[in-house]
Structure 1
Amino acid sequence: MRVLMIGDIVGSLGRTAIQTHLNRLKRAYKPDVTVANGENAAGGRGITREIVRSLLKQGVDCITLGNHAWDRREIFDFIDEEPRLVRPANYPEGTPGQGYTVIPVGKESLTVINLMGRTFMPPVECPFRTADALLANLSGKTHIVVDFHAETTSEKQAMGWYLDGRVSAVIGTHTHVQTADERILPGGTAYLSDVGMTGAYDGVLGMSRDLVLKKFLTQLPVRLEVEKTGGMQVNAVVIDLDRTNGKARKIRRVRIDDDQPLLDG
């Protein structure tokens, strides 16, 4: 089973990048399932019903979220109606939405779990203990990918080791810069600290570089906005899973910078 996971889609350029390059990625890598993090898809903060529908129509099979999940209030009107939209499972009990979903893949299935870190992040339940509880309820599921939306590489690496041999892959999101530490851990779990982002090539983490520079130079409150001009980038990862046991067989980073050829890590 081959999984394509696309990094955080940021704003209008991120959505345009999906429209422009998703079919290209699918032709190149022929994934069985495509997962994308969409928590920044609406102006850099949150997601809307229209964007969810558009991404699914274009061929994304599952959309994960993160700390900006609730930034667009309209999400409360539809999150419980869309099983392919997944928010972090370690939000408190009673939070709308679901923390994982199961996607049919022929005679098999892929389970996608969304977790959020706690270091330098909003207060949530322990992601490690939440993972334990979820996996106890998912006994029999062998193909499991975790989107771990976290700030620090230490917490991400710890999660990779904690879940090694129990899930197929632990892929980090949130920091928007693709890391070069992809590996398959001894227990057969593919790991990458951060898959990167999909959005403005000439911004800072997808945001307006002028506003980011103003904030750093003045130390004054500046409301950041997404970069809306210039080139685009797509960051993703392709993971090959053994169909019999769900163990990772191969992991490779993928990057498209503006109109350049596919860069395969």
Structure 2
Amino acid sequence: MKILFLGDVVGISGRSMVLSNLLSKIKNEKIDFVVINGENAADAGMGITEEVCKDLFNCGVDVITTGNHVWDQKETMSHIEKENRLLRPKNLFEPSPGRGFGIFTAKNGMNIGVLNLMGNVFMKKCEDAFEAAEKFIKKYELKVDYDFLLVDFHAETTSEKVAMGHIFDGKATLVVGTHTHIPTNDARVLKGGTAYQTDAGMCGDYDSVIGMNKDNSINKFLKKKSTKHFAATGDASLCGVIVECDIETGLAKKVENFIYGGELKNSQ
């Protein structure tokens, strides 16, 4: 059993790379289930639309997670109510449209729980992520409510992400961080059997500032004239993790950093 998680898709460049390559990667890597963070997948790199969701689902994505940019496109608030494969952070203040957790069926018939949480430090205000995690753990159980559990923790600080990994250790198949767009070199299986990586990286153009046009972004830092952020449009990399899962326990046997194409030039 293999699960592929891909980090934040940024703009047209990242989306095109996913649409062009994901189906072949699923086949070549023998992937059973795909989750992708799509909160930056709209053309300018802000939010997601119904059309973008359909394109991602049609190219092999099973579930789309999001984060602090989930409502950047107004149509998402209505679309998320009817598309249960599109998740928003579960710890957004209620009432919020949509849901932050779902149980889905993989290609091999196994049940996959997907939980989307958002951090509290340097992020939009939301309910405490760690209290939300504790409530979830008390309510749901691996191999009882689902065969596998994937947690996308959309957070700014590495300390929050590492702590969340330890909270779910032995209770989730994979805990992976998103939001900062730079893949971290710490993919590993924790002592309790949970696969973990602090940040999955992004599916986007790395000749940029975390996916955004580099010249415009630099001008903003220098307080020079610039326009609203917009996504870079060069060759993109696909970044994420592949987890080989133990069907008996629901935990991880192995996790590997997945990087393909573009500026990062991984050997895969």
TM > 0.5: yes
Note if contact 2:149-2:172 (Cα within 8 Å) is conserved in structure 1. yes
2:201 and 2:214 map into 1 onto residues whose CA distance is 17
Note if contact 2:219-2:226 (Cα within 8 Å) is conserved in structure 1. no
| Residue 259 of structure 1: how far off its partner (Å) | 8.7
Deviations, residues 181-221 of structure 1 (Å, cap 9, x unaligned): 11111111111000000111322211001101111223667
1:49-198 alignment, distance < 5 Å: 49-105=50-106, 106-139=108-141, 140=144, 141-198=146-203
Secondary structure in structure 1 of the residue aligned to 2:79: helix
- Structure 2, gaps ≥5 residues long: none
Which shifted more, 21-30 or 66-75?
21-30
199, 204, 210: which is aligned to 1:199? Answer: 204
The structure-2 alpha-carbon separation of the partners of 1:254 and 1:165, relative to structure 1 and needing over 3 Å to count, comes to: same
1:248 and 2:249 are equivalent in the alignment: no
Note if contact 1:66-1:87 (Cα within 8 Å) is conserved in structure 2. yes
Deviations, residues 90-115 of structure 1 (Å, cap 9, x unaligned): 01121110111111133421111000
2:229 and 2:215 map into 1 onto residues whose CA distance is 9
Note if contact 2:189-2:195 (Cα within 8 Å) is conserved in structure 1. yes
2:265 and 2:201 map into 1 onto residues whose CA distance is 17
RMSD over aligned Cα atoms:
1.7
1:22 and 2:27 are equivalent in the alignment: no
Residue 258 of structure 1: aligned partner: 262
Amino acid at match of 1:60: V
Bigger share in strand: 1
2:231 and 2:28 map into 1 onto residues whose CA distance is 29
Amino acid at match of 2:246: D
Which shifted more, 209-218 or 235-244?
209-218
1:217-228 alignment, distance < 5 Å: 217-218=222-223, 222-228=227-233
Residue 9 of structure 2: aligned partner: 9
1:209 and 2:214 are equivalent in the alignment: yes
Amino acid at match of 1:205: I
Q: Name the TM-score, length of structure 1 as normaliser.
A: 0.94
Number of aligned residues: 263
Note if contact 1:201-1:257 (Cα within 8 Å) is conserved in structure 2. no
Note if contact 2:90-2:115 (Cα within 8 Å) is conserved in structure 1. yes
Note if contact 2:239-2:259 (Cα within 8 Å) is conserved in structure 1. yes
1:188 and 1:220 map into 2 onto residues whose CA distance is 50
2:31 and 2:177 map into 1 onto residues whose CA distance is 19
1:12 and 1:98 map into 2 onto residues whose CA distance is 26
2:227 and 2:50 map into 1 onto residues whose CA distance is 28
